[in-house]
């Protein structure tokens, strides 16, 4: 258990300027979602006209004339029948496209999530945080704390609903940022998003996952009253993990490498892993139900271009691609992120990044809040029961990942 310490620092109870921008005391985060109109269904004529506009630049005059004839035949025959069926579906659902899009564009795709499907990005580094070895834990703790404040905004339904020019936007994707996981399957994966706001039910889980040097740790970042750990408390936990991993003579097995393989391959290996020992299934539950994932890397990229290359490549043992969000911190304090695109669009990650980045700028990297240590358990190391087959699959995954990422070319340039 952590020891109790007293702080001479004053506790500020006022709402910061950034919090005031993002939170609302009068509006519920999701209050407009049920009143939003259904997704419009374009007319058959509009769809076919757009199709012809799309193919025109790629066809000769003769080919385009033949295509026009086929489109006319389709419009007057099978197209009319299909559009009538689509109209029935649209009348019975709020979003006639969403499930088809989720299944076909994401869940049925067999390519590895990293680097082919996941969103990858660089976390904006403030001027007062230049690359500096030894700063990783401190910076990660503060960024993690602000990320958890955003989690609490959604959980408490205090995040201000997005309204653009008087038109409310759907906010439901914000519920998929945390706790979500894409379970591998064959021939199709399954998206599981168990997050609940307070009005919807009890907290699903309160832990995060930390991956470093092939080892996996879990610890709670919310106390029983749902208060979040302070940056100092988070730093205490992360320091324990960092020092423990660095003190080991050999690195961990790197189970996370299995998650970056072809999806059906990972589905088979996941089932085999569960069959080896009952404890393995429980450990998978701990990871897959977690609020989010954080990874430590020992490389020291100096430019944003280098950071993005490491985020898209890097050490695949320290990834759990199935989770909706992984924040990656390097030895010199720079950081980036890899997010599964399945549960959410880039809009959600942009909003979080804006909130965290501006919160850091507002406090100039100094938390300035209470530094007392409350009682909480040390991080738990998740040790899977493995055999030669799994070790062989991990090595195959690492080799394939190097092949998939070795020719990635990235350039980040500001004008």
In the chain, the percentage of residues whose pLDDT exceeds 70 is 95
Encode pLDDT of 50-80 as tens digits: 999 999 999 999 999 999 999 999 999 999 9
Kindly tell me if the per-residue pLDDT of 39 is higher than 80: yes
Can you name the residues that pair with 122 across neighbouring β-strands?
A: 336
Residue at 203 is within a domain: yes
Predicted local confidence at residue 370, as pLDDT? 67
Indicate the number of domains in the chain. Answer: 2
Residue at 81 is within a domain: yes
Encode pLDDT of 222-240 as tens digits: 999 999 999 999 999 999 9
Please indicate, yes or no, whether residues 216 and 358 belong to a single structural domain of this protein: yes
Among 14-28, 140-154, 184-198, 388-402, the least confident range? 14-28
Q: How far apart are CA 315 and CA 298, in angstroms?
A: 9
Under DSSP, the state recorded for 415 is -
Q: How many residues does the chain have?
A: 415
Residue with structure tokens 């070795």? Answer: 406
Predicted local confidence at residue 170, as pLDDT? 93
Look up 341 and say whether it is catalytic: yes
Encode pLDDT of 286-326 as tens digits: 999 999 999 999 999 999 999 999 999 999 999 999 999 99
Please spell the DSSP secondary structure of 379-410, one letter per residue.
Answer: PEE------HHHHHHHHHHHHHHHHHHTT---
Please indicate, yes or no, whether residues 193 and 326 belong to a single structural domain of this protein: yes
CB-count exposure of residue 247 (10 Å: 0-12, 13-18, 19+): exposed
Please spell the DSSP secondary structure of 137-196, one letter per residue.
Answer: HHHHHHHHHHHHHHHHHHHTT-BPPPEETTEEPP-GGGGGSSS-EEE--SS--EEE----
Q: pTM to 2 decimals?
A: 0.91
Please indicate, yes or no, whether residues 336 and 316 belong to a single structural domain of this protein: yes
Q: Which structural domain, as residue segments, surrounds residue 166?
A: 17-35+114-405
Task: Report yes or no: 124 and 67 within 8 Å, Cβ to Cβ.
Answer: no
Q: How far apart are CA 382 and CA 400, in angstroms?
A: 25
**Catalytic entry in 83, 145, 204, 341:** 341
Residue at 384 is within a domain: yes
Please tell me whether residue 79 adopts helix, strand or coil conformation.
Answer: helix
Average pLDDT over residues 391-404: 97
**In 256-306, at which residue ranges do the beta strands (DSSP E only) sit?**
293-296
Please indicate, yes or no, whether residues 164 and 53 belong to a single structural domain of this protein: no
The backbone torsions φ and ψ at residue 246, rounded to the nearest 5 degrees and listed phi first, read -70, -20
Rounded to the nearest angstrom, the gap between the alpha carbon of residue 77 and the centroid of all alpha carbons in its chain is 44
Task: Report yes or no: 147 and 329 within 8 Å, Cβ to Cβ.
Answer: no
């Amino acid at each position: 258990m952590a020891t109790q310490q007293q702080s001479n620092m004053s506790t500020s109870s006022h709402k910061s300027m950034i919090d005031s921008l993002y939170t609302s005391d009068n509006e519920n985060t999701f209050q407009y979602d049920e009143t939003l109109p259904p997704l419009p269904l374009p007319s058959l004529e509009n769809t076919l006209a757009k199709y012809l506009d799309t193919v025109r630049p790629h066809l000769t005059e003769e080919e385009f004339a033949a295509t026009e004839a086929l489109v006319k035949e389709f419009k007057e025959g099978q197209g009319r029948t299909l559009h009538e069926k689509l109209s029935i579906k649209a009348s019975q659902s709020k979003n006639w496209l969403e499930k088809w899009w989720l299944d076909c564009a994401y869940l049925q795709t067999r390519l590895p999530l990293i680097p082919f499907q996941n969103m990858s990005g660089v976390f904006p580094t403030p001027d007062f945080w230049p690359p500096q070895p030894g700063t990783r834990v401190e910076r990660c703790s503060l960024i993690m704390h602000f990320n958890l404040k955003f989690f609490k905004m959604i959980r408490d339904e205090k995040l201000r609903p997005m309204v653009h020019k008087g038109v409310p936007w759907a906010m439901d994707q914000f519920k998929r940022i945390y706790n979500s996981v894409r379970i591998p399957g064959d021939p199709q994966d399954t998206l599981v998003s168990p997050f609940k706001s307070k009005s919807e039910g009890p907290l699903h889980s309160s832990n995060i996952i930390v991956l470093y040097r092939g080892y996996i740790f879990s610890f709670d970042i919310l106390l029983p009253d749902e208060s979040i750990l302070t940056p100092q408390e988070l730093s205490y936990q992360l320091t324990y993990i960092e020092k423990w991993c660095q003190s080991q003579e050999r690195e961990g097995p790197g189970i996370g490498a299995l998650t970056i393989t072809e999806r059906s391959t990972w589905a088979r290996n996941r089932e085999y892993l569960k069959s080896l020992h009952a404890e393995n299934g429980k450990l998978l539950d701990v990871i897959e139900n977690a609020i989010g994932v954080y990874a430590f890397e020992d490389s020291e990229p100096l430019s944003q271009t280098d950071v993005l290359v490491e985020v898209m490549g890097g050490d695949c043992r320290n990834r759990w691609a199935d989770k909706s969000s992984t924040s990656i911190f390097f030895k010199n304090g720079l950081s980036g992120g890899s997010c599964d695109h399945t549960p959410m669009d880039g809009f959600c990650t942009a909003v979080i990044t804006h909130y965290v980045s501006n919160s850091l700028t507002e406090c100039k990297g100094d938390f300035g809040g209470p530094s007392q240590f409350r009682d909480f358990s040390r991080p738990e190391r998740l040790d899977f029961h493995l055999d030669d087959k799994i070790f062989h699959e991990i090595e195959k995954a690492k080799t394939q990942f190097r092949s998939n990422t070795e020719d990635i070319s990235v350039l980040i340039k500001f004008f």
